[in-house]
Structure 1
């Protein structure tokens, strides 16, 4: 999770940890820390805020799209208060699979993560 608000990082982290088959690998507040963490190869899905302590979520999305092999095909979604149509379109162009508004889309984000975790589980 890439989020500048420590409060939201904590709350969202707790909600995600309660889910079966979901492990929160890390929560960081800036673009460079996010890029380093994702490059470790342990991140299947990055939840990206657009406004960060350092850099931006747009920068994170640009890095992921520019070098997918470096980041192991990490999927990305955006969680932001900036839900304007132009912002959503830019995120989509940069490779974000989905966009969730912080004000009204938290349940939708959690549903998405739960579905994604189910898709990533090995089939028996």
Structure 2
């Protein structure tokens, strides 16, 4: 996986999250949900590829995922995921050799996206 591919995956996920926010504001919940799923897909693939490159063997050392019992707002979850992905992109551009930090930020973003997916599936969203 080269530099351009990593950056493209992060940017695709960020674009999907931007579109999810726009759809949410327009109350187009079907489009919002699809954008969340697409962002999740990009994030999962990115984690897989970064995990191989960073040789991440033990996910126990990673930051904890968001507290599922806390009632996060949809917008808050999307924004938190965006923030983590933005930080991962900045880290990646600065220090391509330290992929563990990049992986951790993407992993955190994934936690928020999983929370949103679970709400979508249980019709709480």
- Pick the TM interval, shorter chain: under 0.3
| TM-score, length basis structure 2 | 0.27
Q: Which has the higher strand share?
A: 1
| TM-score, length basis structure 1 | 0.27
Higher-Rg structure is 2
Q: Which has the higher helix share?
A: 2
